[in-house]
Amino acid sequence: MSPEMLMRTGARQASPLDNPTFSLKDTGRPRVVFDISPVMENLKKIFLEFQPEECLPNEPLERMSHALLRHRRSQLAEPDLKVIGSLSFVQAMTFWETQIYAIGEWLMHCQEFAQLPLEEKMKLFKASWVIWQRFERITMSIELFGWRAVNEKVNPFSSS
């Protein structure tokens, strides 16, 4: 039926969006959906309850630098790292979850961010966490492995 005929008759053409299992890229494999609501609830708890140390500098860039050093302290030095060829999905999700919480705590060191309503914090977080996470992983890769990080695509992950 032509679009004009559909308009005149009031009939509605089926849309791929009507099917909840529709995937824009049809790979032929079933689509897997993960419930990350427990992670998001923990992140909200961080945004509502996390309090940075009181002895932090007042200057915003110094505060954020301190928070970044605090986060990086938990990461391992190169001699302590274990080399693995690949990650299981569960391992990758564990690293992802740890990183989500670390980014949330880092953001809470920014006084202006900490004073925002929860909904605004969540919006800003959702818009920026991927960039922060990628940048931090690249930065730490280069810091730990130098040119090996670029030439051999070596990335550090920390589960702590």
Q: Would the pTM count as exceeding 0.85?
A: no
Q: Over 75-130, what HEC string results?
A: CCCHHHCCCCCCCCHHHHHHHHHHHHHHHHHHHHCCHHHHCCCHHHHHHHHHHHHH
d(CA 120, CA 140): 29
Residue 1 has pLDDT above 60, yes or no: no
Share of the chain above pLDDT 70, in %: 71
pLDDT in tens, 29-39: 787 788 889 99
Assigned token pair, 123: 């919006």
pLDDT tens digits, one per residue of 14-24: 544 555 555 55
pLDDT score, position 147 = 74
**Given this model, what pLDDT does residue 104 score?**
94
> From the CB of residue 132, how many other CB atoms can be counted at a distance below 10 Å?
15
Query: Where is pLDDT greater, at 136 or 77?
Result: 136
Spatial separation of the C-alpha atoms in residues 155 and 131, rounded to whole Å: 16
Nearest residue to 136 (alpha-carbon basis) of 89, 75, 78: 75
